[in-house]
Amino acid sequence: MMILVTGGSKCGKSCCAESLMNTVDGPKYYLATMIPYGEEAFSAIDRHRIMRADKGFLTVEQYTDIDRVEIPDGSSVLLECLSNLLANEMFRNKKINICSDKIAADILRLKNKTNLLVIVTNQVGYDGICYERGTAGYIAELGRINQKIAANADKVIECVYGIPVILKG
Amino acid sequence: MILITGGAYQGKTAYAQQHFLYPITDGADCSFDTAKTTKMLKNYHILVRRLLECRSDAEAFTHLLCAENPDCVILLDEIGSGIIPMEKSERIWRETVGRCGCILAEKSDTVIRLVCGIPTVIKGKLL
């Protein structure tokens, strides 16, 4: 089972994703992709840690190559989030790496190792601003990954100010 | 409480005026006290910006508004689905609007989302 949760900034995606994880028993892994760098990243990480406290998650950090994460087969995994994962892979080694196919393939391999995979992503292409090449490429690549994952997901949910809107499944 | 949301220029105001006969208060220039008493309030995302500019706690204000004005019709743009802004104050605004929107949606009996003028009820019942 794979569920994709999308939406804009601070619209309840994590809360929604965490509650989806409550439907399963057994060990639950929180797969964090945000590299802890800078004050705002630390405060976001702290906020999410507090939100997850007492929900029985084992936190594993994996910033790139998500399929290489070491978790037991058949685990339930919450992967948060694709926008950070893409930024980490796309801009690594100080180059712009076109990597949506690679990341989508990594995620599908991860899916095969899990009982339940809940994935948090973001909508980033709605502001209509013409960005320079790197950012424009990032918007395009995240859109491509989202489409590939959504096509393979059992369920796709968009959070609108905390309201889950079912787009698929 | 009723929340009407959607991106900019998707027909939120027209929808609200069609379904409610209240005069509409504009969050872009009304007083903060008026916001807590009016029956219909648009541009809540701009009201949040103004609250932040006055160093007010916009989330606390939103909780207070929900408590004091529980029958209000509120119009709020969806603004969080773009690239994270470079400017810190813009990032704070965008995130605060998200949090305030979650508070309003939670307290609302009905949440309607307009896309290209087409309403979808995403919480509660159609009017």
Does B81 lie at the interface with A, CB-CB under 8 angstroms?
yes
DSSP state of B9: T
Query: In the numeric block, which tokens belong to residue B85?
Result: 């802004």
Please write the tens of the pLDDT for every residue from B86-125. 999 999 999 999 999 999 999 999 999 999 999 999 999 8
* Number of domains making up chain B: 1
Checking if the pLDDT of B127 tops 70, the result is no
Structure tokens that stand for A153 in this block:
């997901």
Specify the CATH number for the domain of residue A119. Answer: 3.40.50.300
Mutation target among A6, A9, A121, A146 for the B interface, most CBs of B within 10 A: A9
CA–CA–CA angle A33, A48, A95 (5° rounding): 25
The values of phi and psi at residue A88, to 5°, are -65, -40
Question: What's the number of domains chain A is made of?
Answer: 1
Domain of residue B107, residue span = 2-123
Whether the link from the prior residue into A159 is cis, omega within 30° of 0, is: no
Confidence of residue B126 (pLDDT cuts 50, 70, 90): confident
Contacts of A72 (CB under 8 A, 6+ apart): A27
Residues A29, A31: Cα–Cα separation, whole Å? 6
| Segments in chain A below pLDDT 50 | none
* Predicted confidence (pLDDT) per residue in B2-37, tens digit: 999 999 999 999 999 999 999 999 999 999 999 999
Q: What is the largest CA-CA distance in chain B?
A: 41
| Domain encompassing residue A17 | 2-168
Selected for mutation to probe chain B from A161, A165, A166 (highest B CB count within 10 Å) is A161
pLDDT value of residue A79 = 98
pLDDT at A25: 87
Instruction: Fill in the DSSP letter of residue B108.
Output: -
Tell me, what's the pLDDT at A99? 96
Q: What is the CATH number of the domain that holds B79?
A: 3.40.50.300
**Which residues on B lie below 8 Å from A12 (Cβ)?**
102
Q: Can you tell me the ipTM of this complex?
A: 0.92
Is residue B8 less than 8 Å (CB to CB) from chain A? no
For residue A51, the model assigns a pLDDT of 86
d(CA B19, CA B90): 33
Q: Do A8 and B78 touch (CB under 8 A)?
A: yes
Residue A128: per-residue pLDDT: 85
- pLDDT score of A37: 87
CA distance A110 to A126: 29
Q: d(Cα A11, Cα B101) in Å, to the nearest integer?
A: 8
H helix count then E strand count, chain A:
5, 7
